Amino acid sequence: MPFLGKVLAIDDDPNVLELIKLYGEREGFKVVGINNGNSALAAFDRENPDVVILDIMLPGIDGLTLCRNFRAIRMVPIIMLTAKGEEADRVLGLEMGADDYVSKPFSPREVVARIKAVLRRTQTIDPMTNWKIKYPGLEIQADVRRVLVNEKEIELTPKEFDLLYHLAQNPRRVFTREELLTSVWGYDYYGDRRTVDVHIRRLRSKLLSLSHDYLTTVWGVGYQFTPPVKGGENI
């Protein structure tokens, strides 16, 4: 079986760690389990994981703080684990920079599917697609996963980049939240559509210095990438 990547799973419940390890390694991942927040930063630095599974409620350093700290070190994909019904935790986790979330109790097959989806999107750029997209003040370099705003590189999380690139590849096309979840997150919609809303909000804050608002809300429908108008014509 081919090696698909290394997963750092951080949860204080040994049963959760055992399930993720069992199902993850069955699919070709190496899974390293950590059961407390205080050991997580050292493990993150030591293991250099391809994706992190992170519980919000942890002894020691909590999951939200760890998410923020991981983001300051490296833009690795992060999937948060939240208690079922804890809507505020899910939204806050996404605000802190998480790419996705899974609610407990969860199916281990679903977690593995989410891991595969987030890695597939962050590791693969179709060579037949337009890998460089350039508009006034904004340049997206898909081959190296870089975004320049006013000629200065900005830091985006993996899912922020994927979402912006997907929208920019399809200018003026309106996408529903469900379509974006399928295209960008790589799975059918089962959860909270605000996953998309939070990522759009984070992107807008990072593109704030641009003179044009490229990300347009189409009320009652979803979002679109809107190029600026020049001389009365769209560019």
pLDDT tens for 203-216 read: 999 999 999 999 99
Q: What's the rounded mean pLDDT across residues 74-98?
A: 79
Does the pLDDT at position 10 exceed 60? yes
What pLDDT was estimated at residue 232? 35
Q: How confident is the model at residue 110 (pLDDT cuts 50, 70, 90)?
A: confident
Domains assigned to the chain: 5-123 (3.40.50.2300), 132-234 (1.10.10.10)
**H-helix or E-strand containing 45?**
helix 40-47
What pLDDT was estimated at residue 122? 61
- The pair of three-digit structure tokens given for residue 176, joined into one six-digit string: 């529903």
Under DSSP, the state recorded for 227 is P
What is the C-alpha separation between 80 and 148, in angstroms, rounded?
Answer: 28
User: Could you tell me which residues are beta bridge partners of residue 30?
Assistant: 6
Residue with tokens 């979330």: 101
> Is the separation of the CB atoms in 203 and 215 below 8 Å?
yes
Q: Taking Cα atoms as reference points, which of 99, 116, 104, 100 lies closest to residue 7?
A: 116
What pLDDT was estimated at residue 17? 94
Name the H helices within 170-217.
Answer: 177-180, 194-206
What pLDDT was estimated at residue 127? 47
**Higher confidence at residue 193 or residue 12?**
12
- pLDDT, tens digit, 9 for 90 and up, residues 111-168: 898 888 888 766 555 544 557 899 999 999 988 889 999 999 999 988 899 999 999 9
Average pLDDT across the chain, whole number: 86
Instruction: Give φ, ψ of 134 to 5 degrees.
Output: -135, 130
Tell me, yes or no, if the pTM score tops 0.85: no
- pLDDT, tens digit, 9 for 90 and up, residues 12-61: 999 999 999 999 999 999 999 999 999 999 999 999 999 999 999 898 89
Q: Name all contacts of 204-207 with Cβ < 8 Å and 24+ positions apart.
A: 206/149, 206/154, 206/155, 206/156, 206/160, 207/138, 207/149, 207/154
What is the C-alpha separation between 234 and 175, in angstroms, rounded?
Answer: 19
Q: What's the rounded mean pLDDT across residues 103-110?
A: 86
What pLDDT was estimated at residue 145? 87
